[in-house]
Amino acid sequence: MLGFAMRAGKVVIGTDLVCRSMSKSGKDRPRLILLSDGASQGAKKKVSCKAEFYGIELVSLPLSPEELGRLLGKSTTPVTVAITDDGFAREISLAAEASEHTEEEN
C-alpha cells in the first residue's frame, strides 16, 4: 500500500519535511505519520509532539529505515513518512494495526 501511495504522490518523506507539512491545511496535510524503529530519540520526540498538537495519527513501525525505504521503492533510508491521502492513510493504519495484533499473538 505504501508503494501505491508513493506512486500516487501522496507521501512526504523525511523528518523535517513531514514536520513542516503538519502545519499545512487542506489536501497537503498529513493524515497519518509513520515512524521507523530506527528514528533517533530527538526525531521521535519532535514528530510525536507535532503530531499530537495537530491531531494527526502516529504509527511507530517495527521496521528499520532500510526496510521502510524498500517498501517505498526508494534507496534512501527514511525514518519518518507522512501519508496525505485519507484512503491510503486509513488502509495503511488498518494494516499496521492488524500486523501489530498478529505480532502480539505470536
Domain ranges in the chain are 2-105
CATH 1.10.287.1120 fits 2-105, yes or no: no
- What span, in angstroms and rounded, lies between the C-alpha atoms of 71 and 73? 5
Write down the pTM of the prediction.
0.88
What is the layout of strands, in order, in the sheet containing 11-13?
11-13, 80-83, 32-36, 57-61
Q: What is the pLDDT of residues 3-34, one digit of tens each?
A: 899 999 999 999 999 999 999 988 889 999 99
Q: What is the pLDDT of residues 45-104, one digit of tens each?
A: 999 999 999 999 999 999 999 999 998 988 888 899 999 999 999 999 999 888 775 555
Location of C-alpha cell 495484533: 101
Please report the pLDDT score of residue 81 as a whole number. 96
Please report the pLDDT score of residue 73 as a whole number. 87
Please report the pLDDT score of residue 40 as a whole number. 92
Please report the pLDDT score of residue 60 as a whole number. 93
- What span, in angstroms and rounded, lies between the C-alpha atoms of 36 and 42? 13
Please report the pLDDT score of residue 26 as a whole number. 87
CB atoms within 10 A of CB 19: 21
